[in-house]
Structure 1
């Protein structure tokens, strides 16, 4: 679980920002900027999770010892 701590925080922050943008008094330009930023954050988070999954020995990742 420790491995997913920072990812969980990132998802919580993205969720909060999504709520604020959707109900807040933002103009269309602000909403577009926020959505673009959320997309970038999400892509980076997904990349990190995929990389961690590749290294996870329990899932047969590259550090499982099978490739040595």
Structure 2
């Protein structure tokens, strides 16, 4: 599962910390962050690695700082 954060998300902001803490609490899931620095903005992607079949993508999308969620496998 791929979680895309809003552009230029500040990792020291409370919204990011709440989102990260929630994702860390998912059972059997490992997180991996990836940053892409463009000319005008920085994008942050968080990969959820593991058994994501029971992860509710709508719940993840409702977290602060999350722009979208893409389910990679079912």
Which TM-score applies when normalising by structure 2? 0.31
**Highest CA radius of gyration, 1 or 2?**
1
Q: Which has the higher strand share?
A: 2
Structure with larger RCO (C-alpha < 8 A, sep 6+): 2
Which has a greater percent of helix? 1
